[in-house]
Amino acid sequence: MKRNGMLNSHISKVLSDLGHTDMIAIADAGLPVPEGVVKIDVALKLGAPTFQEVVELIADDMVIERVIVAEEIKEGNPEAMHYITDKFGEDAVDASISHEQFKALTRQVKAVIRTGEATPYANCILQSGVHFG
């Protein structure tokens, strides 16, 4: 058994396989997952686990250089937007695409991790960085 880090074996495998600029999505309970994209469902019930809880745990194990959110999050879920910018810094957050464009971009992610989050636009795409020069 692992001593620390991500214990979910499916998430751990996806994170271990990421290369520079590869992407994963953290999604609320309602975001559609494109056909052919791996869905890792960690939802237990509506509201659990939360978007923030899952992002925190992923960020502990992943080098993240860019976070993409839909522009609608700014007005539709300012709490989530505030959390994302506080967590990753305004320079790392890209909120320039529509929710429809966001959903289209999920076709390019390595996996969608589905949470139990039940607030609007609580979704992000995390782009992998590297931990060396």
Six-digit token string for 88:
């990753």
Task: Report d(CA 84, CA 62) in Å as an integer.
Answer: 15
Report the alpha-carbon angle 58-79-128, nearest 5: 30
Binding site: which residues?
28, 99, 121-123
Give the pairing type, strands 111-114 and 38-41.
parallel
Q: CB-based contacts of 2: which residues, under 8 Å, 6+ apart?
A: 12
- Alpha carbon distance 1, 55 (integer Å): 23
- Retrieve residue 80's tokens: 């989530």
Fold annotation for 9-128: RbsD-like fold (3.40.1650)
Q: What per-residue confidence (pLDDT) applies to 105? A: 98
To which residue do tokens 């469902």 refer? 41
pLDDT digits (tens, 9 = 90+) for 68-122: 999 999 999 999 999 999 999 999 999 999 999 999 999 999 999 999 999 999 9
* Binding-site residue set for substrate: 28, 99, 121-123
For residues 12 and 120, what is the distance between their CA atoms, to the nearest angstrom?
Answer: 27
**CA–CA separation, 40 and 111 (whole Å):** 7
Angle, vertex CA 42, rays to CA 5 and CA 47, nearest 5: 115
Q: Which of 10, 20, 82, 131 does the annotation list as catalytic?
A: 20
Where in the chain are the domains?
9-128
Give pLDDT tens digits for 16-44. 999 999 999 999 999 999 999 999 999 99
Is 82 among the catalytic positions? no
